[in-house]
Structure 1
Amino acid sequence: MPRITAPSVPEHREAQRRAILDATRELLADAPDVEPTFAAIAAKAGLARSSIYHYFPSREELFRAVVVEALPRWKAAIEAATGAHDDPGARIVAYAEANLTLVADGEHAVISALAAFSPRAFSDPWVQEMHGQHVEPLLAALRDAGVAEPGVVAELVNAMVQRAGALIEGGADEAAVRAAVRGLLTR
């Protein structure tokens, strides 16, 4: 029988689940072009490969759990950054900055890898809704700034942020990319 390493069985199970999720996220962040196997995840988490099946019957379910955990963190980071400013223009810049920080921290690489390895995880209605909520602070700032077509402008801002993120992930000078984005958004 496995040894319980926490004060209670539920706490032990949550610690094991947490170790699996953290190991998966770390593997994806370190090598976003390599789909992690249960063997690699188990080795990283310090568990037997068969133990993972007690928590996640398939990689699809495991990857969805990582997505479900990552999206609220992304949303919270955006909301914290934009919420720190009253001026709509500053909130628009903060939105872009927060997204670029998440890219630089490797969060985007994890989400992109998950989208490539498990597209069905992103077809889940909750995931789609949560992903759509990420743009709400930008839309609110654009409306507060009196922008006539906030939805269109939000799409354009996001296109710029996505391209800036791709440049950062590709090795471009992060400070220069951030300065260029700030410059474009503050004009």
Structure 2
Amino acid sequence: MPRISAPTVAEHRAAKHRALLDAARAILAEEPGTAPSLAAVAGRAGLARSSAYEYFRSSQNLLEALIQDVFPRWSARVTDAMTAAGAPAAQVLAYVDTNLELVAEGEHAVARALAAIAPGQQLDDSSRVMHEQLSHPLLDALRAMDLPDPATTAEMINAVVYSASSLIETGGDPMGIRTRAGELLEPFLRVHDKGR
């Protein structure tokens, strides 16, 4: 039996699985136009190529696993940041900032790369579910501020996020852009913050 690097076999396997997904994510961020081979992913993860086949049957199977991994992690990170922020106005700012932080970290590039090389129903479904999961806490925060049209306000906030994301992905200073986005939205949110 091979040596394991965790207290249990299950934890060892989970760590190797995570390492392969992280390696595939890193390769996709660096080379967005092509699907990473299992050999390249295993090499990046520091594993033998044969080890990758213990976890994924094929490159397509790896891409499917990445789709199932990328979108829920993005959604969880944003909603966790919003929950930790407290007041509704702070939650909206956390929504904007965390989305832009993920873009700066290359997560959006990975999602776009997946869309380019692995289009299909699973990707469409995962993307739709993620956007729905993100829209609910944003709308809840805006409703808690008693805004007259939370849905329209959410669309406008998302327009700021999309524009700022584009600026980051075309080489803009991520911290500066995140700061500007907050500065743009904060006065509006402060005016409508019931906890002020």
The two structures share one fold, judged by TM-score above 0.5:
yes
Residue 17 of structure 2 is aligned to residue 17 of structure 1: yes
**CA-atom RMSD, angstroms?**
2.5
The 1:123/1:46 distance shift into structure 2, 3 A limit, reads same
Q: Which residue of 2 aligns with 1:35?
A: 35
Separation in 1 of the partners of 2:70 and 2:26? 12
Q: Which residue of 2 aligns with 1:58?
A: 58
Alpha-carbon shift at residue 24 of structure 1 (Å):
0.6
Judge conservation of contact 1:68–1:127 (CA < 8 Å) in 2.
no
Cα offsets for 1:125-152 (capped at 9, x unmatched): x553234202222111111122232223
Q: Which residue of 2 aligns with 1:162?
A: 162
Judge conservation of contact 1:74–1:134 (CA < 8 Å) in 2.
no
TM-score (norm 2): 0.79
Q: Which residue identity does 1:122 align to in structure 2?
A: L
Alpha-carbon shift at residue 78 of structure 1 (Å):
1.4
Separation in 1 of the partners of 2:87 and 2:93? 10
Alpha-carbon shift at residue 166 of structure 1 (Å):
1.6
Q: Identity over the aligned pairs, expressed in percent?
A: 44
SS of structure 1 residue aligned to 2:176: helix
Q: Which residue of 2 aligns with 1:174?
A: 174
Residue 91 of structure 2 is aligned to residue 91 of structure 1: yes
Unpaired segments ≥5 residues, structure 1? none
The 1:10/1:181 distance shift into structure 2, 3 A limit, reads closer
Judge conservation of contact 1:4–1:12 (CA < 8 Å) in 2.
no
Correspondence list, 1:46-125, <5 A? 46-120=46-120, 121-124=122-125
Comparing 80-89 with 162-171, which one deviates more in the overlay?
80-89
Q: Which residue of 2 aligns with 1:138?
A: 138
Judge conservation of contact 2:28–2:113 (CA < 8 Å) in 1.
yes
Judge conservation of contact 1:93–1:182 (CA < 8 Å) in 2.
yes
Count residues in correspondence: 185
Alpha-carbon shift at residue 167 of structure 1 (Å):
0.7
Unpaired segments ≥5 residues, structure 2? 189-196
Separation in 1 of the partners of 2:78 and 2:91? 10
Alpha-carbon shift at residue 4 of structure 1 (Å):
4.1
